[in-house]
Amino acid sequence: MPQSDFALNRRAFLGRYAGALGPLALAQLAREAQGAGAPRSEHNDPLAPKKPHFPAKARAVICLFQHGGPSQMDLFDPKPELTKQHGKPHPDKLEVHFHTQQGKLLASPFKFAKHGKSGVELSELLPHTAKIVDDITLVRSMKTDSVDHEAALRVIHSGKIFAGRPTWGSWAIYGLGTERKELPAYVVLSDPGGLPVDGTNNWSSGFLPAVYQGTPFRATGTPVAHLATPADVPVGARRNQLDLLSELNGTHLRKHAGNAELEARLGHYELAAKMQTAVPDVLDISKETEETKKLYGLDNPKSAEYGKRCLLARRLVERGVRFVQIFLSGQPWDTHSKNAESLKNLCAMTDGPSAGLVLDLKRRGLLDSTIVMWTGEFGRLPISQGTDGRDHNRHAFSLWLAGGGFKRGYVHGATDDFGYASAEKVVRVSHLHATLLHALGLDHARLTFPHEGRDDNLTDTVVTRAEVVDDLLA
């Protein structure tokens, strides 16, 4: 057959079946079944397990991301002086996002109480988090670089305000590789309501190879888009497709031996093939006990959907997935109006499942090796926006961490009397990233990738030199 005819037929074939990932995804299975596989060089496998820079307790991460900016003074950071001065003007000039709606000091309507042996104070909106308070590190002195959602999201995820940079999940996978070949190393449990603000930038691999980006899973319906074999494709036809595709791929790879990009692409097909059987199993919670389902709030309509995704995160980590993120659609914590009412609903949805995840990991012996982080991109102002809202605040926000070598029952840092600015033991996002990588056994300064003529990394910033916050670690 002339080379030109071969090329034409190949293009015609791929053009005809481009709408279905299944034929591409199962190519490797066909090669394995018929012994016609092209040689693959193991040293070019970008997801091969890698040794950390130094021994570490943590091997996996679950990030519970709260889009929009949770209000720290209503949830984690009690401010008696704010209550005392309620209704008065703030004594200092503030950085206000919506300056035309700037109001006066707004006290939290929620009561705070001490919990656990550690005596950490939490809002009444977090009764379930109160039960795990002795297992978490609560950071009250976070600070970020932007007051705009998209820019702040890029900072918390990728270290800088610019789009196109790798997220810290991608850096973690790049540094450590994967433990399982039949599941993605980095899984995103997306909200059925839609994408979060800034969309797929939240789990992008940026200038790192695409193999390190997050893979979105659905908790209901078809788990992964375009993965399953179309229902109208007969088994015999599928086998013929795979046979032809196996031959084409093998011929092409042999002509380009040592091409790392091509090998990586075929590696994607292998992963997709294996996912067809592994993904349905890991997402099947039917064999979980009723007690476990209740622990995650699956018996409560308000928390059931979020709870299922938290349960799936545990199942994924249990099976060797390295990095899991749970996102909410839109920016629900962006409480510019009806702050108190919105927080009640959001906490009813997320508090029980978040705490249940930590408790479940702990009783299964997985918490020590898994970092759980609950955070948003920034905080809120201590003054009102309009009558009952709170505006954006980059100068202070709170987050909590559990497991993975972090201290338990510990509160780090403090804000000023009104909760506007972090004042003691300030933790910038670059410090947080350095500490998270350290907990995974990775030196943030050594974890680099060549980009635009230089070795770039997650914590490369001109704002301040990133340092590991040793006080957060056990």
pLDDT per position as a tens digit, 116-160: 999 999 999 999 999 999 999 999 999 999 999 999 999 999 999
Q: Residue 36: its pLDDT value, please?
A: 32
CB count within 10 Å of CB 174 equals 24
Same domain, 247 and 329: no
Single-letter code of the amino acid located at 199: G
Q: What is the percent of the chain with per-residue pLDDT over 70, rounded to a whole number?
A: 83
**Residues 6 or more apart from 406 whose CB is under 8 A from it?**
136, 137, 371, 439, 472, 473, 474
Q: Residue 9: its pLDDT value, please?
A: 53
The DSSP secondary-structure symbol of 406 reads B
pTM here? 0.85
In a domain, 44, yes or no: no
**Which secondary-structure segment (H or E) carries 64?**
strand 60-65
Structure tokens at 121: 């104070």
Same domain, 393 and 271: no
For residue 296, report the phi and psi dihedrals to the nearest 5 degrees. Answer: -90, 5
Q: Please, how many CA atoms are within 13 Å of residue 407, restricted to the half-sphere of its CB?
A: 15
The predicted model gives 307-321 an average pLDDT of 97
The predicted model gives 412-427 an average pLDDT of 98
Distances (CA, A) of 376 to 41, 174, 196, 327: 41, 24, 12, 10
Burial 326-339 (b: 16+ CB within 10 A, else e): bbbeebbbbbbeeb
Nearest to 149 by CA among 392, 429, 422: 392
Res. 473: pLDDT tops 90: yes
Q: Residue 276: its pLDDT value, please?
A: 64
The predicted model gives 57-72 an average pLDDT of 98
Nearest to 247 by CA among 41, 39, 37: 37
Structure tokens at 133: 């308070």
Same domain, 267 and 297: no
If one compares 242 and 64, the residue with the highest pLDDT of the two is 64
Same domain, 414 and 462: yes
Question: Using CA atoms, how far apart are residues 397 and 414, in angstroms rounded to an integer?
Answer: 10
Structure tokens at 401: 């961490």
Same domain, 22 and 57: no
Same domain, 186 and 144: yes
Same domain, 291 and 321: yes
Which residues pair with residue 123 across a beta bridge? 112
**Residues 6 or more apart from 32 whose CB is under 8 A from it?**
none
The stretches of 212-303 forming alpha helices (DSSP H) are: 235-255, 260-282, 290-295
For position 433, which CATH number holds? 3.40.720
Which residues pair with residue 189 across a beta bridge? 217, 326
Question: What 3-state class would DSSP assign to 34?
Answer: helix
Structural domain harbouring 106: 50-223+283-472
Same domain, 386 and 436: yes
Same domain, 289 and 397: yes
Same domain, 305 and 265: no
Contact by Cβ (8 Å): 22, 230: yes
If one compares 30 and 373, the residue with the highest pLDDT of the two is 373
Same domain, 239 and 145: no
Question: Using CA atoms, how far apart are residues 306 and 309, in angstroms rounded to an integer?
Answer: 5
In a domain, 43, yes or no: no
Nearest to 399 by CA among 139, 75, 136: 139
Question: Using CA atoms, how far apart are residues 19 and 51, in angstroms rounded to an integer?
Answer: 38
Distances (CA, A) of 85 to 174, 279, 368, 387, 388: 49, 54, 42, 16, 16
Model confidence at 35, pLDDT cuts 50, 70, 90, reads: very low
Specify the range with the lowest mean pLDDT, choosing from 22-36, 68-82, 172-186. 22-36
Last residue of a domain, one of 255, 276, 297: 276
Same domain, 193 and 59: yes
Domain total of the chain: 2
